[in-house]
Homo-oligomer: A and B are copies of this chain.
Amino acid sequence: MLAFTQTEKNQSPALQTLPSPTLGEGEVIIQIKAAALNHRDVFISKGMYATIKYPVVFGSDAAGLVEGREVILNPGLFWGENPGFSGPDFQILGMPRAGTFAEYTALPAQYVHDKPTHLSWIEAAALPLAGVTAYRALFTRAGLKTGERVLITGIGGGVALFALQFATAIGAEVWASSGSDEKIAKAIKLGAAGGVNYRQTDWYKNPALNPGFDVVIDGAGGESFGYLLRLAKPGGRIASYGGTLGVVPNFSPQILFWKQLQILGSTMGSEQDFAEMLALVNQHQIRPVVDSVFALKDADKAFQRMEAGEQFGKICLEMG
């Protein structure tokens, strides 16, 4: 089969012909129809994780066929028994296990779910990893409720956009932040009540953000994260699913304890999170935002687009 792969560190990822996957006990083989990129794929291609096992077949997200059944894959495998955090066996499809940027992949049958019927192959492929990450951060961790005000930072990324769509679907009031006015305008078209450009001086003092937020969803960290504590209402919950801007240098314990905030780390999601996320998407007929679609043979161009960081929505791959 064809697969987008990296056989050793520092080697450029490339399309290669590999043997089709062999099946372990209880596993099924999936013919991939479409896949989608995550930052994780780029990080792996650059050797940025401590323990990368080669050869890598990239890709966590996909939709496809199992003996004629239209399916979507849950890429979060072997979460473990504690719903509060993933156990030692947890892994994400696409390293060490061969991933979805290929004609076929194999998975234990319980990680294969019915594809939402309102979604195209591409839309379905766009959903899994970012969707479950947004769901867990927003609901399982931060406990967002109808009518609450939620701020979603860095709108345009996959997780942030699903958080926007999910929060809007349940009737929360969503605000978005971005470094791009164009992305904020798009977020408002998707249902956001408003937005703020964090490139403006003292953006966190913008009166439009008053009276603050019940919930904040952030994937950036850095200095801006410190300001999120100011923007939270008393009793507010701030869920963090990433830290691309690194260490927070201005974290105030005074604001934390005085407003009795909750700062909640969140990553990926459990089997239950995934099932609940799919149910929400089906119930509200939510359609993932697709930024762009590349053929599998042009996967390198998809990686370049993700590195450029200008996407609004998911970057997808179409097979065969």
Which residues of A pack against B, CB within 8 Å?
82, 84-86, 141, 218, 220-222, 225, 234-235, 240-243, 246-267
Contact = CB atoms under 8 A, between A and B. Distances in A.
A256 B251 contact: no
28 contacts: A82-B235, A85-B234, A85-B259, A85-B260, A86-B234, A141-B260, A218-B253, A220-B253, A221-B252, A221-B254, A222-B253, A225-B253, A242-B257, A243-B252, A243-B257, A247-B250, A247-B252, A247-B253, A248-B253, A249-B250, A253-B265, A256-B263, A256-B265, A257-B266, A261-B264, A261-B265, A262-B265, A263-B264
Nearest to A221: B253
A240 B85 CA distance: 21
A250 B250 CA distance: 8
Contacts of A234: 85-86
Contacts of A141: 260
A221 B261 CA distance: 15
B249 A253 contact: no
A260 B254 contact: no
Across the A-B interface, give the 8 residue pairs with the lowest CB-CB distance, nearest first. Answer: A243-B253, A221-B253, A263-B263, A85-B235, A251-B251, A256-B265, A248-B251, A85-B260
